[in-house]
Structure 1
C-alpha cells in the first residue's frame, strides 16, 4: 500500500524544516563513530579503571582483542512496580553476553520517580524535569567510552523519553530498549474509577478506596491502563528500537525471559565491530518519529507524549510540532479502546491482537512508514508478526488478521472513530491539546463561566464550600513548566468526573498536564503560552464565558476585545517552590522552553545558528498559529 498523502506531506514538511539540524546531528554522531567507541583508544590508566572490578574472564576480554562490551543503563528501583523486576536483569544480561564471548557492564543508573505516588503532592513538581535529569544521567553513564552498544531498562512516564534523549546524545551507539512487562489484571479500571468518584463525593471511606487501589495496583509490572508508560512501549516499537511485540508480556514468564535474551543478543550483533551496524541516531529519523505519532493516535495514547516526543525528536535533530501531530490525528483512525479510552486493560489489548494487529492495519492502510530500518532484520514488517515461545527462544509467526475482540481492537475499515485520539485547540487563549478519544461525543463541546484558580487545591476547597456553579469551566493556571514544573493535575479527575456524572457540564482548561490515564471530561491542557509567561490565561477573570469545542478544535474566551486589552495580568498566588527539593530545580523553571517546544530545561540536539535546538522558533517559520496565540498581550509578555 502506498503511503497516505498526509503522512507523506507531514514527513516531508518535517524533513525540510529539520534539514540543517538533522544534518548537524548526523555529522556529529559520525565524528563520534570515527573517534570511538573502541576501548583500545583509551589510555592504559583509563582502561584499567574501566575493568578494575570485573571478573577474570570479563577483564581478559576487556583488555584484549576487540569484543563487544554492552553498556546497561538501568532505571531500577523497587518502589516502582514496573521497574522492580529489573533488579535481576543486569546479572542475567552479563551471563548472556559472556556466553556469546562478549561482556556487559552496568554503565549507570538513572532516577525513576512514580507519578502515581506523587499525584497531588509537592514531588509532582519535579516530575517533568526528571526527564531531563534522566537524559543527563544517561549521557554521564555512557561518557566512559567503554561501550560498543547499549540496552536500556526503563518503562514509565518520563523515564523512557529521558533515556531516549540520552541515548540519542550518543547516537553512534546501537541501542535497544528492554521492557519488563505489565502486571496481570487486577480489579477492573471502571470499578476503580467509580470508587474514586464516590470517595470524592464523601460516599466511600478511605479504607474502601485504599482496598480498591491495592487490588488495582497489586504486583510487580507496569500499571495495566494505557497511560504514559504503556504508550511509551508502543511508540518504541513503532520506531523500531524495541523488539516486536515485546511490550506486553508479563514479568516472570518464560517468554519475558526469552525476549530479554533476544534483545541482548541483538544488541551485541549490531555493533560497529560487525557487519550489521545499526546506530540509534540513524534509525530514529523523520519517518520513525511520524510512525511513533501515528501509533499514539491509533491507540488513543497519552497526552504527555505531545511534549515528550517533541523533545525526543529534537535530540535527533528533528523539529516536530503540535501542528504535525494534529494533521496526523486527522487521518489516523482510532483502532483501540483501552482504559481510559475504554474498559479493557493492556493485557486484554495484547490478547485481542495488540501491537502486531495495529501495526499490520496501519502499514497496509499506508498510515505508517514501512520502509524504515529497525533493530531487527526485515524492518517494520516484522512488527506485524506475533511472538511465540519455542523452547527458550522467541519465534515469530504471521500476526493476526482479525481482531480477537472488536470491543478492544478494530480494523482501519471499521474504526472506533475516523480520527485519532488527540486534537489541537486554537483560539484567543492560546494553543492547547485535548484527548478526544477519552471523552464521549456529547461532552466534547461546552460553553460555561470560568472558575479561575491557581492551584488544584483551591478548586477542591470551592467544591467543599458548595461555591461552584452548576456548569463551569475550571481554569487552573500557573501550572506550566516555568511556573512550577508543569505537574500533572490528575487529582482533579475524580471531582470533575463526579460532577459530570451528576448531569453538570464541566471542563478543565490549564497550562498544566494531566496524567496519561486521564479522560472522561473535556480538558484543554498544556496551554501555551503559559500564564507565567504572560499568556492569555493570566488575563482571565472569574465568570468569563469560555467556549470549548473539541470537534472544531477551538477554545475561546467570549470577552469583549476592548475589555480584554484593558486588563492587567493576575499575579501568581501559588506558594514559592522552596521545599521538598523543589528549590533545587529553580534553574530548570527559569530556563525551560514552552510546552509546545518540549518543555526542555536542558540543551537538546545540535546547536543552530541561533542557539540550542529548543530555541528553534527563532530560526524556523512554524506558521501563524504560534504567533497568534501571543497576540492579545504581546506588549506585556514577560
Structure 2
C-alpha cells in the first residue's frame, strides 16, 4: 500500500526540521559504537568491582566475550503495574545463562503513581520525575559494563524517562519489557458513577472506597486507557516491545516467556553478534510518526503530547503539536476504550488489539512499514500475536477482523474519521485538546470565564453552588514553571456533573488534565503559561472565551485584554514540603509544555 501523502509530508517536514540536531546526535552514537564492547575498556580493578558480587557469573564476565545485559528497573511494590518486576531479574538471568550470557541489575529508577498523588501536593513532582528517571537510568548505564539493556517500566512518566535515557545510550540495543494490565475488575463506568455520586454527596466514603478497591484490585497496570497503557501501545508501534507483548496479564506463563525472550533478543542485537540494532537506529523520525498515528488511532493520553516531544528531542528529532494535529486529521479513531468508551484494555486486547490495529493502519498506508524494530524486521511483524504452544513461545497471525466492533473497528468504518487530538491556537496562546470522548455538540463553547489559581478553589466553588450557567473554568498558574504542572484530573467528576445538568462547560488550563481526560472539553497545556505572563494571566471573571475544537481555535472574544497587566500568584505554598524544595532548579530551568516541558533544553 502506498504511504498516505499526509504521513509522508509530515515525516519529511520532521526530517527537515531536525537536520541540525539529528545529525550531531547520530555522530555521537557512531563514535560510541566504534569504541566496541564497553567493559573491555575497563581496568582490571574496575572490572573486579563490577563483577565482585556476581557469583557463578563472575568467571564468565571476566574471561569470556559473552554478552552482558544491563537491567534498568522501576520496580517497587507500591505501584500495582511495577510490582511484577520483582521477579524479572531472576527470570532474565536464568534465560541468559542458557545461551551463555549474563545479566546484572544496572540500577533502579523512581516510579511514582499519579493515581495516588492525584489532587495532592505530591503530584507537583510527577512531571519532573520523568527527567529524574532519565538521569537515574543514565547513572545506572554509565558504568559502561553492558552490551545491551532492558528497561522495566510501565506507567506515566516512567517509560518516557526510560526512553530519554535509552536515547542517551542510543548506541546500545534496548528492549522494553512490560508487566501487563491487571485482570478486569469493577467496570470503569460503574467506578465513574460512584465517583460522581460521592462528589454530589449521594454516597459516603465507604461506598467510594469499596468501588475503588474493586476496580484496582491486583498486580498490573490500571485497566483504563490512560497514560500507562498509552505508553505500552507506543512501545509496540515504535518497535521497542516484542510483537503483542503490551497487554498480556502479569504472572502468567506467556508473560514470563515474553520476558525471557525479550532479554535474549536484546543480547542478540548487540555489537557482539551479527544483528546489531541499536536504539538510535530504531527511534528515527518514521518511528515517532508511527507512534503519533497510534496515539491518534487509539484515542490515547494527552500526556504524550508532552512526553513524545521530549523523547524525540533526546534523539535530536524535533516534533511540534502541529505534527500531532495534522496526523490526527487523517488517522481514523479505531478504538473505544475507557474513558473514550466502556471497555478496558483487556477487552480491547481480546477484540484483536494492537495487532489488528497495526495491520489495518499498514494496509491503509497510515504507518511506515519499514522501520527497524527489536523483532528484527519491519512493523509488519507486529500484526502477529504471541502464543505458548507446547511450552514454546511462537508467533501466529493475529486477528484478521475485529471481534467486537463496539470496541475496535476497521479503518473503513471507524468511530470517527479523524483521531483524538486537536491543536488549538489563537489570542490566548496554543493548547491541545483530546476530543475522542467529547461529543460533537460539546466541542465548541463560547461562554464567560471563571478564573482560579488553584484546583481546590474550583472544588470549593462547586460545593458552594456558584458554578452556574454556561462557563469556561480557567485554572492557571499550573504550568511546569509555576508548580511542576500537576494533573487536574480530580476536577473531572465535578465538571462532568455540570455538563450533565445541561450547562455548557469547558476547562482551560496551563496545567495537565491526564490520560483519563474524558467527555468535558479541556484545552490544556496552554502556552505561554501564566507564570511567564501568557495571555491566560490577563483573563478576568466574566471575559468571554471561545474554545473551538472544530476550527482549532482558542480566542478571547472580550477586547482589550492585551493591554491589561498580567496577574501574579503567591506560589510559595508550592515551593516546599514533600521534597518540593529540592526541585527549585527544575522549576527555574524547565522548558515550555510545547517543547516537552523538559529540563534538558530544547
Kindly indicate whether residue 586 of structure 2 is the aligned counterpart of residue 566 of structure 1.
Answer: no
1:130-529 alignment, distance < 5 Å:
130-529=129-528
Moved more, 523-532 or 260-269: 260-269
- Asked if structure 1 preserves the Cα contact closer than 8 Å seen for 2:530 and 2:536, the reply is yes
Shift of 1:137: 0.5
Shift of 1:215: 0.4
- Asked if structure 2 preserves the Cα contact closer than 8 Å seen for 1:136 and 1:166, the reply is yes
CA distance in structure 2 between the partners assigned to 1:78 and 1:505 by the alignment = 42
- Asked if structure 2 preserves the Cα contact closer than 8 Å seen for 1:187 and 1:215, the reply is yes
CA distance in structure 1 between the partners assigned to 2:274 and 2:37 by the alignment = 16
CA distance in structure 2 between the partners assigned to 1:14 and 1:329 by the alignment = 15
- Asked if structure 2 preserves the Cα contact closer than 8 Å seen for 1:365 and 1:412, the reply is yes
- Asked if structure 2 preserves the Cα contact closer than 8 Å seen for 1:14 and 1:319, the reply is yes
| Secondary structure, aligned partner of 1:287 | helix
Shift of 1:162: 0.1
CA distance in structure 1 between the partners assigned to 2:38 and 2:509 by the alignment = 49
CA distance in structure 2 between the partners assigned to 1:369 and 1:395 by the alignment = 25
Shift of 1:389: 1.3
| Secondary structure, aligned partner of 2:478 | coil
Match of 1:601 among 591, 599, 602: 599
CA distance in structure 1 between the partners assigned to 2:478 and 2:94 by the alignment = 47
Shift of 1:155: 0.3
CA distance in structure 2 between the partners assigned to 1:524 and 1:576 by the alignment = 23
| Secondary structure, aligned partner of 1:524 | strand
- Asked if structure 2 preserves the Cα contact closer than 8 Å seen for 1:298 and 1:420, the reply is yes
Match of 1:581 among 568, 579, 589: 579
CA distance in structure 2 between the partners assigned to 1:390 and 1:525 by the alignment = 47
Q: Which residue of 1 aligns with 2:25?
A: 25
Q: Which residue of 2 aligns with 1:634?
A: none
CA distance in structure 1 between the partners assigned to 2:104 and 2:65 by the alignment = 16
- Asked if structure 2 preserves the Cα contact closer than 8 Å seen for 1:36 and 1:145, the reply is no
What do the CA deviations read for 1:452-494 (whole angstroms, capped 9, x no partner)?
Answer: 0000001111122222222211000000000000000001001
Shift of 1:392: 2.7
Match of 1:591 among 585, 589, 592: 589
- Asked if structure 1 preserves the Cα contact closer than 8 Å seen for 2:37 and 2:272, the reply is no
CA distance in structure 2 between the partners assigned to 1:11 and 1:569 by the alignment = 38
- Asked if structure 2 preserves the Cα contact closer than 8 Å seen for 1:150 and 1:173, the reply is yes
CA distance in structure 2 between the partners assigned to 1:334 and 1:535 by the alignment = 33
| Secondary structure, aligned partner of 2:432 | strand
CA distance in structure 1 between the partners assigned to 2:81 and 2:246 by the alignment = 12
What stretches of structure 1 of length at least 5 have no aligned partner? Answer: 604-613, 615-638
Q: Which residue of 1 aligns with 2:48?
A: 48
| Secondary structure, aligned partner of 1:222 | coil
What do the CA deviations read for 1:523-572 (whole angstroms, capped 9, x no partner)?
Answer: 00000010111100000001101111111111111111xx2232111111
| Secondary structure, aligned partner of 1:260 | helix
What do the CA deviations read for 1:10-51 (whole angstroms, capped 9, x no partner)?
Answer: 000000111121110111011111124331211111111100
Moved more, 565-574 or 581-590: 565-574
Q: Which residue of 2 aligns with 1:4?
A: 4
Shift of 1:579: 1.4
| Secondary structure, aligned partner of 1:437 | coil
Shift of 1:503: 1.3
- Asked if structure 2 preserves the Cα contact closer than 8 Å seen for 1:26 and 1:281, the reply is yes
CA distance in structure 2 between the partners assigned to 1:281 and 1:125 by the alignment = 32
Cα root mean square deviation, aligned: 0.9
- Asked if structure 2 preserves the Cα contact closer than 8 Å seen for 1:294 and 1:328, the reply is yes
Q: Which residue of 2 aligns with 1:619?
A: none
Shift of 1:220: 0.5
Q: How many residues align?
A: 601
Regions of 4+ moved over 6 Å: none
Q: Which residue of 2 aligns with 1:16?
A: 16
Shift of 1:601: 1.2
CA distance in structure 2 between the partners assigned to 1:195 and 1:171 by the alignment = 46
TM-score (norm 2): 0.99
What do the CA deviations read for 1:299-357 (whole angstroms, capped 9, x no partner)?
Answer: 00000000000000001110011011110000011000000110000000000000001
- Asked if structure 1 preserves the Cα contact closer than 8 Å seen for 2:71 and 2:105, the reply is yes
1:615-634 alignment, distance < 5 Å:
none
- Asked if structure 1 preserves the Cα contact closer than 8 Å seen for 2:303 and 2:514, the reply is yes
CA distance in structure 2 between the partners assigned to 1:393 and 1:513 by the alignment = 44
Q: Which residue of 2 aligns with 1:544?
A: 543
TM-score (norm 1): 0.93
CA distance in structure 1 between the partners assigned to 2:83 and 2:390 by the alignment = 26
| Secondary structure, aligned partner of 1:438 | coil
| Secondary structure, aligned partner of 1:512 | coil
CA distance in structure 1 between the partners assigned to 2:36 and 2:447 by the alignment = 61
Q: Which residue of 2 aligns with 1:631?
A: none
Moved more, 341-350 or 26-35: 26-35
CA distance in structure 2 between the partners assigned to 1:85 and 1:505 by the alignment = 44
| Secondary structure, aligned partner of 2:436 | helix
CA distance in structure 2 between the partners assigned to 1:394 and 1:433 by the alignment = 42
Shift of 1:573: 3.6
Shift of 1:65: 2.1
Q: Which residue of 2 aligns with 1:606?
A: none
Shift of 1:361: 0.6
Shift of 1:517: 1.0
CA distance in structure 2 between the partners assigned to 1:236 and 1:276 by the alignment = 20
Shift of 1:500: 1.0
Q: Which residue of 2 aligns with 1:632?
A: none
- Asked if structure 2 preserves the Cα contact closer than 8 Å seen for 1:82 and 1:180, the reply is yes
Shift of 1:225: 0.3
